[in-house]
């Protein structure tokens, strides 16, 4: 039996599909029924039950034979400023799950974030946690939970934290402003024939040449399944391709996938963002490779093409 928090969301619902592909249906989805704009993600999936996140404590106390908790549920908005809300959803909620897993001999795989690295001045080494300085409250709540996990004396039989970099792909359609730039670029092209990217305010970095480690959700699923299959692996791991690419590259890939010539405009950043903006992120995936994960990651061009042609251009098809 698997408990999957955030199971109606982007990565969570894709994970349900991936488990279904393995004929696994003994899944209890935990999510917030008050925010079910993502209910379409579950329409064709097979699972045992759906439980509101407010009932998590009762679920844990009454459940037997839970083998694994995949904890994807969180407030994922990097622009959220309500510290109490973020701590409740990203730290205390996660802490409750972790403590239960540690006390009940249950494996745990949870979502951390590359936002823990802050401006990247300390690099992107997934052995770093305590000394990191995130640029926003969201990143700090993720860092705090990583630190709690690392410092806990009692641990689950398997514990995996996954620091996701810039994940994109099907089932993210409900995320609004937090959806990937690929998703927004596709919509901009369809509506106005061009893509808007942020101007650069850093000397030496041209407009649109800001970089991110864009990772396709299908690669994320592959890594999670690898962790599930290898119970002896523990630790916090970066989940990215290990190669930073520019937003210009991304926009051009969307245009190329649609058979169109690129047309890019550069616009001002919103007030308050420029001083907290990361100009380059790139996952250090040495530890992931050392753990035995050998599969190649999608290139940006191939990932974008698959996403655009097989999902976005087919009426936002679900995974």
Q: Point out the residues that are catalytic.
A: 138, 175
Contact 188, 253 (CB under 8 A): no
- Going 65 to 71 to 72 to 74, the CA torsion angle's sign is positive
> Given phi > 0 = left and psi -120 to 50 = alpha, else beta, which region is 192?
alpha
Closest CA to 171 of 72, 279, 67, 28: 72
Instruction: For residue 265, give the H/E element and its range.
Output: strand 264-267
- Going 182 to 187 to 271 to 136, the CA torsion angle's sign is negative
Q: How far apart are CA 263 and CA 220, in angstroms?
A: 30
Helices 300-310, 247-257: inter-axial angle, 10-degree rounding:
40
Closest CA to 18 of 33, 31, 32, 2: 2
Closest CA to 232 of 70, 142, 107: 107
Contact 6, 71 (CB under 8 A): yes
* DSSP letter, residue 42: G
């Amino acid at each position: 039996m698997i408990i999957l928090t955030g199971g109606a969301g982007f990565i969570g619902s894709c994970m349900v599909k991936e488990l279904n592909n393995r004929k696994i249906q003994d899944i209890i989805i935990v999510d917030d029924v008050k925010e079910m704009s993502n209910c379409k993600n579950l329409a064709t999936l097979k699972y045992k039950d759906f439980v509101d996140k407010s009932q998590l404590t009762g679920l844990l106390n009454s459940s037997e034979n839970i083998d694994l908790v995949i904890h994807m549920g969180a407030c994922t908005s990097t622009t959220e400023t309500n510290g109490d809300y973020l701590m409740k959803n990203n730290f205390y909620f996660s802490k409750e799950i972790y403590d239960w897993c540690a006390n009940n001999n249950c494996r745990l795989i949870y979502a951390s974030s590359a936002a823990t690295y802050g401006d990247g001045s300390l690099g992107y080494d997934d052995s770093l946690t305590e000394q990191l300085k995130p640029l926003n409250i969201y990143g700090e709540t993720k860092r705090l939970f990583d630190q709690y996990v690392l410092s806990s004396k009692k641990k689950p039989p398997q514990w995996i934290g996954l620091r996701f970099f810039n994940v994109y792909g099907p089932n993210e359609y409900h995320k609004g402003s937090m959806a990937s730039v690929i998703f927004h670029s596709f919509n901009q092209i369809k509506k106005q024939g061009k893509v808007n990217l942020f101007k650069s305010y850093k000397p030496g970095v041209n407009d649109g040449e800001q970089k991110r480690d864009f990772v396709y959700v299908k690669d994320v699923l592959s890594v999670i399944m690898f962790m599930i299959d290898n119970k002896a692996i523990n630790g916090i791991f970066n989940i990215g391709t290990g190669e930073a690419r520019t937003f210009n590259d991304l926009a051009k890939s969307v245009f190329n996938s649609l058979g169109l010539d690129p047309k890019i405009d550069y616009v001002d950043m919103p007030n308050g963002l420029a001083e907290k903006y990361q100009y380059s992120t790139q996952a250090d995936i040495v530890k992931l490779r050392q753990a035995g994960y050998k599969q190649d990651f999608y290139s940006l061009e191939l990932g974008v093409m698959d996403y655009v042609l097989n999902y976005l251009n087919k009426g936002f098809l679900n995974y």
